[in-house]
Chain A
């Protein structure tokens, strides 16, 4: 496979553990946030989103938490599986005259069997 980032922060967990991936965003006016997963050799894939009028949203095995006070997002993955190994990006929607998604640099999640 291909590497999508050579100098990424890395989180290593054991299969079955819960994983927490953190992200700091930059603009207090951003009102929409997305978490993407990118597997080796593939494009980013939508996982879950959250709007700024919420502080928590749950999906299947994933939860996103939003703390607007400190401009912080987190992605929690329950019962992490080897198939969860990937690079995870947060993105914030900024309005700079037009709506633009601004991506973080990503965190690599490594899941050991």
Chain B
């Protein structure tokens, strides 16, 4: 298993600002992901955080809006840039020890509200 620490747990931000969310895993994992959960909706994958290279973004998500870093195997950050009220969501970091067929572990999430 893996324990994932995510911070901040919540934040209230002003329109036009940026917020960086940090994710730390207690053991080495192969895959790290960032999800978004909008109010009343299911989780949507934003991107896969690749160690030492650019993240792989899903359709509808772009690097300029959601820059992601993963400098090593256990740490990743997601930045929500130039925020608008539509960005108000829960953002979740997740990780899996191996590609496919394995449990996905999640951080506790970041509740973001944009005024």
A and B: bona fide binding partners: no
Which of A's residues lie within 8 Å of B, judged by CB?
none
